Amino acid sequence: MILTDKQILMEIEKGNIVIDPFDRKYLGSNSYDVHLADTMAVYKDDILDARKHNEILAFKIHDHQGFLLLPGRLYLAVTQEYTETHKFVPFLEGKSSIGRLGIDIHSTAGKGDVGYCNTWTMEISVKQPVRIYPGMPIGQLIYFEVSGDVLVPYNKKKTAKYNRKTKQPVESMMWKNFDSKILGSK
């Protein structure tokens, strides 16, 4: 089941959901709007390798001129909001207004885990050139109830790759899956 606005507010009050900054006007009937931060990134190399650490180049988006997204390029962006979700599964979905501009905010990574505590890195791609601006609504968080107890929340997992708190977009850590310590091989 998806939490309603009333339930989201109750869980914020209990500390089970944290949204910082939080503004009541961005709370929908069953979601919370998140906003584009002023930092984005692109990969340094045109060819990426899943077994290697692919480095990124971060840059600032200027308020008055925005930034022009181009098709055929992957952009990493981050939400202004830092979130914590201790008893629910958070999903980050694109807003319909963003989709109607041809902007996809994530390829595959819309679901968080119980215990996820961080900003959200988005994998942005576009169908045609479009200019974006910091502070614009970019997505919405939806919270799902879980059935049963969680043995180890994400923020307590030793193998979690995205636990480092940051206000910057975070590149893929897939290369860590090839580390023998994580795979359990010799």
d(CA 54, CA 82): 25
**Active-site residue among 13, 81, 84, 123?**
123
- 81 is annotated as an active-site residue: no
Quote the tokens at residue 69.
């997204």
In the Cβ-directed half-sphere of 113, how many Cα atoms lie within 13 Å? 15
**Residue-wise pLDDT tens digits, 6-48:** 999 999 999 999 999 999 999 999 999 999 999 999 999 999 9
Q: What residue ranges define each of the domains in the chain, with the CATH number in brackets?
A: 5-157+167-174 (2.70.40.10)
**Residue-wise pLDDT tens digits, 93-107:** 999 999 999 999 987
